[in-house]
């Protein structure tokens, strides 16, 4: 099944909660997601059975990979049960999880035993002061590193570690992050600060382009670019020439990858989004709870993907970004709602 630009459906990202135990400025700024913010109520969330039913239909249409996200997905109670249910869906070959790592040490083994294959951990710095500035919370980097170790020991190896690089906040920690994960067997990925959502105050001057990040690393450790591992891969891959491992660069700003995007996103309350930068989604919770049969559900899903023509990052990249550019002109869905 192809969309309007000839892109197949291969990946499903499932947000299982809109809640998080951090308030990272690029995702859930505290001034918006503060004490008075109204998060989804339990009854508004899709049940595990509803998620699995939807995944089963989408697997029949080409989905082979599922990634569980949030908010922070490990805040969803009994998440390993959902993993086990999804692992039993015919056609699903890979189930992954993106987490901030704070709860990972205690949950990694159960998730692996349930069928989780891979884990990605967000870690924006190794020193407590910088990490706390990025997350707007008193975060212990040691606790996150313990989660990474636990994941590796549970068989979720190699772990991917994501660092969002924001100028003036943590760009001075690029080299120290690279040094920490060299020889670790894990893959450190640097992410250009993106204009996702409408509340993070994005400005182009806060973006550290991937080329600048590579230059910082190559000043100490020469790199060699690698070929993509598969269809729809979003990260440019590099290996250390001395054999110390691999890094990745996600260049949504400087080198958009819309042309190879094979992802569909499901929010925690049952809306499907065909782009990370979407302004609205298609409600499938009403279908699931309204008695729709399999044929009706399949038809609606096929219509959604077949009509897809999203290429936001590419369109943004076709016009030169001004230094005063910001993300305020579009009411885009927040990243915490659909998991990045």
Residue 28 located in a structural domain = yes
Q: Does residue 330 surpass a pLDDT of 90?
A: no
Angle value at C-alpha 27, between 229 and 99, nearest 5 degrees: 55
Residue 152 domain flag: yes
Averaged over 170-192, what is the pLDDT?
A: 98
pLDDT value of residue 338: 87
Find the domain containing 21 and state its range.
Answer: 11-338
pLDDT at 169 over 70: yes
Q: What secondary structure, in 3-state letters, does 34-88 show?
A: CCCCCCCCHHHCCCHHHHHHHHHHHHCCCCCEEEEECCCHHHCCCHHHHHHHHHC
- The CATH number for 173's domain is 3.20.20.70
pLDDT score of 241: 98
In a domain, 3, yes or no: no
C-alpha triplet 20, 134, 234: angle, nearest 5°: 75
pLDDT tops 70 at residue 322 = no
DSSP for 270-304, written as a single string: SEEESSTT-S--EE-HHHHHTT--HHHHHHHHHHH
Residue-level pLDDT at 319: 62
Spatial CB neighbours of 318, under 8 Å, sequence gap ≥ 6: none
- The side-by-side arrangement of strands in the sheet containing 11-15 is 223-226, 235-240, 246-250, 187-192, 160-165, 118-122, 94-99, 65-69, 11-15, 263-266, 271-273, 282-283
pLDDT higher than threshold 60 for residue 229: yes
The pLDDT of residue 320 is: 53
Would residue 5 count as lying in a domain? no
The Cα 120–Cα 97 span in angstroms is: 6
For all residues of the chain together, what is the average pLDDT?
A: 93
Tell me the chain's radius of gyration from C-alpha atoms.
Answer: 19
Give pLDDT tens digits for 33-89. 998 999 999 999 999 999 999 999 999 999 999 999 999 999 999 999 999 999 999
Higher pLDDT pick, 155 / 279: 155
Mean pLDDT, residues 149-158 = 97
The pLDDT tens digits of the residues spanning 14-31 come to 999 999 999 998 889 899
Q: Is 36 exposed, middle or buried (CB count within 10 Å of its CB: 0-12, 13-18, 19+)?
A: exposed
Residue 32 belongs to some domain of the structure? yes
In this predicted structure, the answer to whether residue 211 has a pLDDT above a threshold of 90 is yes
Residue 1 lies in a domain: no
The reported pLDDT for the residue numbered 205 is 93
Cα 247 from Cα 152, distance rounded (Å): 17
Q: What is the pLDDT averaged over residues 261-279?
A: 94
Q: Are strands 118-122 and 187-192 parallel, antiparallel or unpaired?
A: unpaired
Domain count, the chain: 1
291 belongs to a structural domain: yes
Residue 277's pLDDT is what?
A: 86
Whole-number Å distance between alpha carbons of 234 and 227: 12
| Residue-level pLDDT at 234 | 85
| pTM for this predicted structure | 0.93
Q: Which residues contact 78 (CB under 8 A, 6 or more apart)?
A: 48
Q: Cα(51)–Cα(48) distance, rounded to whole angstroms?
A: 5
In whole angstroms, give the CA distance from residue 228 to residue 225. Answer: 10
Q: What share of the chain in percent tops pLDDT 70? A: 95
CA distance 90 to 87: 8
Interatomic CA distance for residues 140 and 8, integer angstroms: 40
Assign 13 a pLDDT band (cuts: 50, 70, 90): very high
DSSP state of 333: P
Q: 115: which 2 tokens?
A: 């069928």
Considering the domain boundaries, does residue 4 fall inside one?
no
């Amino acid at each position: 099944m192809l969309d309007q630009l000839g892109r197949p459906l291969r990946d499903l990202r499932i947000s299982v909660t809109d809640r998080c135990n951090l308030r990272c400025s690029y995702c859930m700024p505290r001034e918006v997601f503060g004490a008075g913010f109204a998060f989804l109520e339990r009854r508004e969330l899709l049940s595990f059975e509803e998620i699995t039913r939807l995944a089963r239909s989408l697997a029949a249409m080409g989905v082979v990979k599922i990634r569980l996200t949030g908010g922070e997905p490990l805040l969803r109670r009994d998440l390993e049960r959902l993993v086990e249910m999804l692992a039993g869906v015919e056609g699903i070959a890979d189930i992954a999880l993106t987490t901030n790592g704070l709860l990972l040490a205690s949950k990694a083994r159960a998730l692996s035993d349930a069928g989780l294959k891979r884990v990605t951990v967000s870690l924006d710095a190794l020193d407590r002061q910088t990490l706390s500035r990025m997350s707007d919370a008193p975060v212990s980097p040691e606790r996150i590193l313990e989660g990474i170790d636990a994941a590796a020991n549970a068989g979720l190896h190699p772990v991917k570690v994501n660092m969002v690089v924001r100028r003036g906040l943590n760009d001075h920690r690029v080299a120290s992050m690279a040094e920490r994960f060299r020889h670790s067997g894990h893959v450190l990925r640097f992410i250009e600060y993106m204009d996702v959502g409408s509340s993070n105050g994005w400005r182009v001057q806060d973006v550290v382009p991937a080329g600048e990040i590579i230059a910082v690393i190559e000043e100490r450790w020469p790199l060699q670019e690698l070929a993509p591992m598969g269809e729809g891969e979003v990260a440019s891959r590099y290996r250390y020439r001395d054999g110390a491992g691999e890094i990745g660069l996600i260049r949504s700003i400087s080198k958009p990858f819309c042309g190879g995007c094979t992802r569909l996103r499901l929010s925690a309350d049952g809306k499907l989004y065909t782009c990370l930068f979407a302004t609205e989604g298609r409600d499938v919770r009403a279908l699931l709870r309204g008695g729709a049969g399999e044929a009706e559900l399949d038809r609606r899903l096929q219509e959604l993907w077949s009509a897809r023509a999203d290429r936001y990052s590419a369109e943004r990249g076709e016009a030169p970004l001004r230094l005063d550019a910001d993300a305020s002109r579009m009411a885009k869905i927040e990243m915490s709602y659909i998991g990045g």
